[in-house]
Amino acid sequence: MTEPLLIHVGYHKTATTWMQRRLFVPAHGWRQVAAHAEAFAHVVAPHGLVWRPAPMQAALAEGIAALAEGEVPVLSSEILSGLPFEGGRDSDVHAERLARIAPDARILISIRSQLKILPSVYMQYVLRGGTLPWTRFFEDRGELGYFGFDPAHFEYDRLVGLYQRLFGAGNVHVLTQESLQRDMDGTVARLAAFCGNARYAGLAPGARQPAGVSYPEHAAGVLRRINHVQASTLNPWPVVALGRTPGGLFRLAGAAMKRWPLAPLLGSRRPVTAHVAHRFAGVFEDSNARLATLLPGTDLAGYPGIGRKADRGAAAQASPAATA
């Protein structure tokens, strides 16, 4: 008997590429039965007036028919959680479409502390050809009728709560990137148990290697300026096109920033992280408190407000004023 489909919706920049390339493979008892292209074509892209579940259902059925005995089918695509450069708009629409496509599916949502994920989101924006400085990127709301970054997208309790309502709380598993860093083996074993993946017997050799391309924060200013003179996904028609991002001058400059002598000279600079810490101080605390209520037993240590609020509560109980 085939286990239910596992749908991994992201978020972006939460080890999604690693999971797709290293974890969700037959050697670990998972098999991806559809990819980004199908998720985009049949879930994300269709206009609401013409969308219907049948095309994605057909694509999934074709992939599931090719499963080996005991393999768990997976659809993993972070675009299902929305594009962070545009505020994650329509993430609720995608969730509701998935509930119509595969109402018996199990859902995986991967998250990361907001003060860590936002700098990575900005660097991904630059990798796709973005030209705004980080100060403007995080403030940009777009022109009337257009959308930019929106911190509400990273109030995780909203999306987690929606999926719990659509699929049932017992069918939604939230994995933190921090748990992968602290205890990769235990975190993956818990995910395998959630999926009913009886074939998983530990990570294969080489599975712990990172996947994906990234550049250091100290390169952000140089790389975004290069994007003004290179074509890219976000800037397809520059006035002058000296190449295409992420190749050309972009790749050369990025590689130089990762090597001696620039890396040791500039490597301690974290300008985007510093801006995010200041700009979003206190912004996500209430959301994370609600998230902790939705996910009893999930370790959210280090997420904004989690330890701090607990510490304040304990201090208040122990204070003379609290016992007077």
What residues pair up with 175 in beta bridges, in sequence order? 110
Residue 271 lies in a domain: yes
CA dihedral 254, 255, 258, 261 (to 10 degrees): -110
Residue 239 within a domain: yes
Residue 1, pLDDT score: 67
Backbone angles phi, psi at 32, to 5 degrees: -80, 120
Q: How many domains does the structure of the chain reveal?
A: 3
In which domain, by residue range, is 270 found? Answer: 217-279
Backbone angles phi, psi at 295, to 5 degrees: -125, 65
Which of 165, 195, 225 finishes a domain?
195
Burial category of 51 from C-beta neighbours within 10 Å (exposed 0-12, middle 13-18, buried 19 and up): middle
SS3 content of the chain, % helix, strand, coil (to 5): 50, 10, 40
The token duo for 167 is: 């699929």
Q: Do 114 and 141 belong to one domain?
A: yes
In whole angstroms, what is the distance from residue 53 CA to residue 98 CA? 8
pLDDT tens for each residue of 294-307: 999 999 999 999 97
d(CA 52, CA 47): 10
- The strands making up 172-176's β-sheet, listed across from edge to edge, are 30-34, 72-76, 6-8, 106-111, 172-176
Considering the domain boundaries, does residue 113 fall inside one? yes
Instruction: Write down the pLDDT at residue 308.
Output: 57
Residue 324 domain flag: no
Are residues 40 and 94 both part of a single domain?
Answer: yes
Q: Report pTM.
A: 0.93
Residue range 216-259, pLDDT digits in tens: 999 999 999 999 999 999 999 998 999 999 999 999 999 999 99
Please report whether residue 83 resides in a domain: yes
Spatial separation of the C-alpha atoms in residues 227 and 79, rounded to whole Å: 23
In a domain, residue 204? The reply is no
- The residue among 141, 215, 223 whose CA lies nearest residue 232 is 223
Please report whether residue 178 resides in a domain. yes
Which amino acid appears at position 48 of this protein? G
Summarize pLDDT for 167-217 with one digit per residue, the tens. Answer: 999 999 999 999 999 999 999 999 999 999 999 999 999 999 988 778 999
